[in-house]
A and B are shown apart, each in its own frame.
Chain A
């Protein structure tokens, strides 16, 4: 039982990432009717926002400490980050320590801007072009974004550690009445799950309870009719694209401590997120979230030693296998609506 629970928990962090990316993909697809192959790149850009902020905060100046010498006998050069000199050593160190959570604030405006520029500058011109063209141009964009990041940050993964206080693991099994040490779970994974849950909840609340969200939902259901009401749906959709970009970006920011960001992480997640969207049902937001977590958890079960010794490598293909089975038996996906993307 506890092993079972542990696997479910292990699936939550990947599941959260899948769900967040798939949610954004679905929003963009549902509102703009565009298949965005560059969505994974947005996730990656988010992660590199955290890297950038970490580097900015670590910008230092050098002073020479005459009282100490290095091993050659020269006076010791001491590097002091600017933030430490501005906010005092302790507050400054804390700011650096908390750079990943802080990057969330840093990333929101950046991701909104990236999303806005992308939609106005590129995607807008492809609304009326065939889906194949949309796929191709966003695929090209994904390559470009990925290569630009590689150019500036190199090909190797870059560590973005979580704050000191959120490192390590928690024996959460005890809280639920299991034996001690039965379920040990890294704190940051819990943080990531909670963070995703908040964002997902926020998006749904936003769509459900605001007028803006109502119009967007109506637009997803029937774009023409909403257009006839004299509502400027296009502008709202632009904002929606920005939001979807921000969601993907934030998912990336917080994912850094789980897996050091590299330039191709976006592509890796994108393919799986597409599969998630298809399994959940094209155009269904709850479907995307549900399928994201389901597949994440499934992947975690397939990664257990038992599974991988029975069928070696099953963890790497399980998601695709499930997707194929779902599509063959339920072509519309788990929660897909009739008429979405059918001939």
Chain B
């Protein structure tokens, strides 16, 4: 189907079903119940899942296929957001031109940065992208925000003001981002008994776009171009002596992933019409690296999983406080309860970044293939146990990809 083989088609279908039914899947607990804190089915968070999914899918096209580790992809995300908000300011609140421009501008910006950074490879490349991203951050934060030439509105962040031209803004169109009149914020809440499910216009826009770019990513992975990118990672020397110029291939991958980042940035602005410089900081770049690795570098589904995993736990961990902990451990004797709360305390709430850092290290050390590899290992282990009794040749299976 759609020019994909069976395996990829079923993967795409699974992803489509999961994203479309996300409002149900992510809200398994009744609204008022104690477990409701683990629900993730509210619009804001669901939007973040798919937007960061897009970001990570794009990053994986560069890092997963070519092995070039960019530490500056947040810059493209930020540029995307700024472009989108400018479209809101100049044209109208319709999200289509905003998203289109964010992709185009991020593409051009990544072409420029990629052209320079790719003159070097290996860690030089990582450091160069890092430097560029930090420079972009400084540019956005202060340089391009002065009375003479205010492109980014500095610390406050770029937003739409009443006196902005908005030349295409119709009299009746909503005064916030919309898709041909359908506001991104509009949410339909379905109440089923004690459960409630939110269906948000913005989320579905993002979800549809994510499925489209996920499909594109599959095509790229299976294309001759994708194969050449993996050849770049595997052996550039052989590549050059096979009559292939590795530079344009890598640059193309860089620009494509930059455009994915720009798209993610544009969507962010479309959900909430605000763009700030902190989106470009290198910790933000580190986050997308983490998502990709945690999910599984070079796999199709990994980055999406990683993005969902991190955004979900970021949300949950940040919400948990000591009271919640005491509730959890209340079955323990008093002293034990306090001790447990004391031990867990540094990792929750504002301590989420600590947990994230530890997770990062553990994954890189023990599970370089990420969740996807972990899942495969688990599956093999279960299969091995089940078939181990009657089939001793279980170990002869093909090596996992």
**A residues adjacent to B (C-beta < 8 A):** 35, 122, 125, 130-133, 135-137, 139-144, 146-148, 151, 267, 271, 274-275, 277-278, 282, 311-314, 316-317, 320-321, 323-324, 327-328, 331, 341, 343
Contact = CB atoms under 8 A, between A and B. Distances in A.
Contacts of B45: none
A328 B359 CA distance: 37
B123 A341 contact: yes
B132 interface: yes
A249 B230 CA distance: 41
Contacts, number: 126
A343 B235 CA distance: 11
Contacts of A282: 124
Given A282-B124, A321-B135, A136 B116 contact: no
Interface centre among A132, A141, A327 (most CB of B within 10 A): A132
Contact of A312 (B131, B146, B353): B146
B364 A151 contact: no
Given A135-B123, A139-B360, A320 B135 contact: yes
Interface stretch (B136-144, B204-212, B220-228, B310-318): B136-144
A282 B124 CA distance: 9
Contacts of A343: 121-122, 236-237
Given A137-B364, A316-B138, A317-B139, A147 B130 contact: no
B356 A135 contact: no
B17 interface: no
Interface string B318-354: 0000000000000000000000000000100001011
B119 to A, nearest CB: 6
A132 B358 contact: no
A77 to B, nearest CB: 30
B128 interface: yes
A137 B131 contact: no
A125 B362 CA distance: 13
A81 B287 CA distance: 45
Most buried by B among A274, A314, A341: A274
Contacts of B165: none
Nearest to B361: A140
Given A323-B131, A324-B131, A341 B146 contact: no
A312 B142 contact: yes
B286 A320 contact: no
5 A-B pairs closest in CB distance: A143-B357, A313-B143, A140-B360, A147-B354, A320-B135
B128 A137 contact: no
Contacts of B358: 140, 144
A35 B127 CA distance: 10
Given A136-B360, A313-B143, A314-B143, A327 B128 contact: yes
A35 B283 CA distance: 18
Interface string B347-388: 000010110111111001100100000000000000000000
A140 B293 CA distance: 12
B134 interface: yes
Contacts of B143: 311-314, 316-317
Given A139-B286, A151-B351, A144 B361 contact: yes
B364 A136 contact: yes
Of the candidates A122, A274, A320, the one having the most CB atoms from chain B within 10 angstroms of its own CB is A320
B123 A131 contact: yes
B52 interface: no
Contact of B289 (A136, A277, A321): A136
Nearest to B135: A320
Contact of B346 (A151, A271, A316): A151
B364 A133 contact: yes
14 contacts: A122-B365, A131-B126, A135-B69, A135-B126, A136-B364, A143-B354, A144-B354, A146-B353, A147-B357, A271-B131, A277-B127, A278-B128, A278-B131, A316-B143
